[in-house]
Structure 1
């Protein structure tokens, strides 16, 4: 959204727990690192809100999410840590 110069955003989610976590991050110490990242992102916006919307009130997004889950796809994990060097070839002598 920031790339498109959208500085005032209301994000909606069907996860009530996420709204609670973002609203009261100190009550969720197990997620402190992740919630700090959310706070950094929130500060990039002039206005930011996150609100709960039940799946029953957002059938289009729910349908898209379900169809994405049904699609066959590969999952790739990209690690930020460089891989350890592979050992060179062994001599058979």
Structure 2
């Protein structure tokens, strides 16, 4: 589920002491859910966790981007799936060894 993945990413940013964040997603529902959590009562438990995480940042925003503008992330995700081991990556600049595969 996209919201669970979003929570995981937020927690990773918190763990890495990133205080000012701008998230971009091609899932418009995530943006809608974070912006208007009361309109999504079925997801209240997850959205409460999103809110707890949001309060840990000094600057926070989440924006929708079209999937066509998200090609770099898609390539990175596809190349990570091709690796023979698990990969966890949270940063704005991929390591050199990933850049070569993208």
Instruction: Name the TM-score, length of structure 1 as normaliser.
Output: 0.68
1:79 alignment partner in structure 2: none
Task: Give the root-mean-square deviation of aligned CA atoms.
Answer: 2.0
In structure 2, relative to structure 1, the CA distance for the partners of 1:5 and 1:70 (3 Å cut) is: closer
2: CA distance, partners of 1:27 / 1:70:
38
Task: Give unmatched runs, 5+ long, in structure 1.
Answer: 75-93
The CA deviation string for residues 9-39 of structure 1, in whole angstroms up to 9 with x for no partner, is 0011110011000000000000000000000
Q: Tell me how far 1:4 sits from its aligned partner.
A: 3.5
Task: Give unmatched runs, 5+ long, in structure 2.
Answer: 1-12, 87-102
Instruction: Name the TM-score, length of structure 2 as normaliser.
Output: 0.63
1:38 is aligned to 2:80? no
Q: Name whichever structure is richer in helix by fraction.
A: 2
Aligned pair count reads 74
